[in-house]
Each structure stands twice: as structure tokens, then as C-alpha cells.
Amino acid sequence: METAMERTQQALQEDDEEQQEIWSWGAGTDGQLATGRLQDEHSPQLLCSLSALGPINFLSCGGAHVIALSPGGRVLTWGRGTSGQLGHGEMVNSLQPKAVKALESFTITHVSAGWNHSGFVSGSGAIYTCGDGSFGQLGHGEFKSLCSPVEVSFFSSKHVEQVACGMRHSLVLLRGNKDNQVYGFGFGKRGQLGISTEKVKSTSLPQITMGLTNVRIVNISANGDHSAALSADGSLYTWGRGFGCASDACIPHHVDVALSLKEVALGWNHALLLTSEGEVFMLGGHRHGALSGPQKTSLTADASGKLKEGIVRISADHSETKVVQIAAGAEHSALVTDNGSSSVMTWGWGEHGQLGLGDTNDQAIPQVVSLAHISAEKHPISRVYCGSGFSFVLRTYDSDSQMREGT
């Protein structure tokens, strides 16, 4: 017979499960959507099985795999694993989330999924990598792939804060330094490592990223052949493949947008910029996702009035709604608005259903993604994450708490 205490515990467990929803859509033929099906999904799918594994406070979506981080530092991975990027000790795909057993004795605080490789940072400042290493992007001094996470010994005497994994390169941010704080390794032919004034084919050992002396970097990003960093004062630095018609940059250069930025999201051909005031701007985007009648700004004009960077302002809707978060896939984009319902909006390339709008059409302007509410009594808080051709949303209904990133 069920006791009152057991009924109370069950009710509390059910209530906890209702606090978070996890949705996915888009490309799914490698199992990256965690639906248990090897197919694309054009509309958002509610992932009850993933939610049942416990709360998740951060996701990183790569080429076709996903890394999830729990509030307690536990790591789950799923999707494409043929290069060992899932860290499960084998090179096979996984349709369902599985714990990375090699990391269970560590408290992981930050993760990043690249095209076919992964990075994990522990609370003690160690960094572990696995997956495709054919370009040196694992940082172990060789060009081999690994199917289980291995500590990058180069940083054993340093305290790593963040890792950012791109297409075939990786960046690392150290804690507390103003000098020698960012390192790059892996493929570098577009300048994305920032380690030399000349383009470097590849390096398998971390090297110092130049051009950031006396700048306090608080966040790093990598996607495709792009790299970016945000400083404590909201300044943006980019290097690697140029956006739009801009030339490649071998070392970080300051993007003079005359705005205080709080977030940057990199795609393959574009970058989204979120200001402290909740406005969104886009660099590049001349392929999928370029706006019709774009609002060009002159924020980066030089003395002659010629634009240094092509910047487009993205309008979430026709009101003054603020944007609280941004995300970018290969050639699609997403944002979350601060309008009480925490709406998720997407635009850009839609061939695999990655916009979540029920079709495979491209969209030139942001469109609202329809997500059913579990509770009409509580205001949701959403965060959106984009992989190369797919998307995820974490949504919580606990109005007394905020979603925390794994940084």
C-alpha cells in the first residue's frame, strides 16, 4: 500500500519533471534530435524521455551531435558518434542520450560540440577532448581521433575557463589572465586560430592567440572557420574567415560597432550580435537568412563613410520587444524574446526543418516557433540552441529561478 510520504515524493518528482520541457527539431538522420527516430522533424518534438533523465541547464549542438550538461556537472551526449565525439568509448551513433562515463568522477562546468569533436572543462580547470583529431583540433600533439575524453596535458598547470569547438579547430579561454589568455589549435588555413600573422595550415598543440593583450576576454566562440571573443566591456573581436565580403583575418581584430555587446553567436557565413539593450545585429548572412530590405547601419563607417563591416539590424517584431538570447546554426538563426511568453523565433535556411515552422522553406525574417505550454499559470523561461541543421529549446516554468548556462 502506498504511504502518504511515497505519494508526496511522487508528486514532488512529477512537479520537478513539469518544471522543464526539452524540444528538438530539424535534421535528425544521425539521432541528434534524441527522438529515437532517424529522420528530420519539421515541427518541434517534446522529448519526454530526455526530460526524465533530470534537469539540464546547458546544451551545445555540433555538426550532428549534442552535449548536455546538468546542474551537478553530469554530461550526456547523443547523435553522430562515428569519430568518437560522443565520448562513449566507441565510434558509433547514439539515438538516445547516454552519460559520458569517463567524466563521471569530475564536475564538468563547460562543454562545446564542434563539427565532429567535443570539449569538456572541469571545475578544477582541466580540459578534456575527444572525437575527430585529424586536424589537431583535440590539442594532444597528434592528429589522431579519440573515442573517450582525454585531458589536454598542455593545460595541466593552467586553469581553463571555457572551450569553443568549431568545424576543425578549437579555442580555449584561461581564467583570470589578461595576457596569453586565449589559445587555438587545429585547422588554421582561414586564420581562425589567430596564432600567427600568416595563415597556418594546422597545429596539434595549443598556441597563444595574438592580438588580445591587455583585453579581458569573458567569452569565446567558434563555428565553421570563424572565431570570436567578447571582452568584459562588451567589445567584439573576430578572426578567421571574413563575413560577407570581408577578408580573412589571421589575428583578432576589434569590430567597431559602437555598441555594448552581451552575446555573439557564430554560423558558417554569418554572426549574430546581441546588445546590452536587447537589440540584435547580423554580420554577413548574404546567403540564407539575409533580410529583404535590410536595415544597414553606419555604426562601423570610417572617416570616408565607407562601411568596414556589413551590419544588418534584426527586428524580432514590429514592437519594441527586447531579445534576451541568440543562437546560430550553419545557416539558420534563432532568438528568444522578453515578451512574457519567452517566444522563440527562427529564420534562415530551412531545408531540414531546422526552423521548426512545420515545413522546409527558407525564411528571410524571424518567425515565431509554436511551442505548446505545459502550464498556463507560470511564465516560461526559454533558451534556444542551434546545431548545423537542427535546433533545441530548453524551457522552464519555475518563475522563481533562472536558467543557468554551463559557463
What pLDDT digit, counting tens, does each position of 228-279 carry? 999 999 999 999 999 988 899 999 999 988 889 999 999 999 999 999 999 9
Which residues lie across from 274 on neighbouring strands? Answer: 263, 280
- Alpha carbon separation from 161 to 57, 117, 221, 328, 407 (Å, rounded): 17, 18, 13, 22, 8
Write down the pTM of the prediction.
0.90
pLDDT at 317: 72
Strand 381-386 versus strand 390-396 pairing type = antiparallel
**Whole-number pLDDT of residue 10:** 41
The closest alpha carbon to 335, from 374, 368, 313, 301, belongs to 368
How would CATH label the architecture of 54-213+247-254? 7 Propeller (2.130)
| Cell numbers describing residue 285 | 548572412
Spatial separation of the C-alpha atoms in residues 223 and 164, rounded to whole Å: 8
Q: How far is CA 67 from CA 9, 116, 128, 405, in A?
A: 30, 12, 13, 13
- Taking 70 as the pLDDT cut, the residues of the chain under it are 1-18, 286-309, 318-319, 373-377, 398-407
d(CA 42, CA 24): 10
CATH architecture assigned to 23-37+256-288+306-398: 7 Propeller (2.130)
**8 Å CB contact between 357 and 369:** yes
Q: What is the mean pLDDT of the chain?
A: 88
Using the CB atoms, write b or e for 71-88: b if 16+ within 10 Å: eebbbbbbbbbbbbbbbb
Q: What is the per-residue pLDDT across 136-182, written as a single tens digit (0 to 9) for each? A: 999 999 999 999 999 999 999 999 999 999 999 999 999 987 778 99
Distance CA 356, CA 160 (A): 35
Q: What is the pLDDT of residue 374?
A: 57
Cell of 322: 527586447
What is 8-40 written as a DSSP string?
HHHHHHHHHHHTEEEEEEE--TTSTT-SS-SS-
Integer CA distances (angstroms), 15 to 8, 48, 164, 378, 396, in order: 10, 14, 35, 13, 12
Instruction: Give residue 57's Cα distance to chain centre.
Output: 13
- On the question of a common fold for 23-37+256-288+306-398 and 54-213+247-254, the answer reads yes
Structure letter (DSSP) for residue 51: H
Q: Rounded to whole angstroms, how far apart are CA atoms 165 and 386?
A: 14
Sequence spans of domains, the chain: 23-37+256-288+306-398, 54-213+247-254
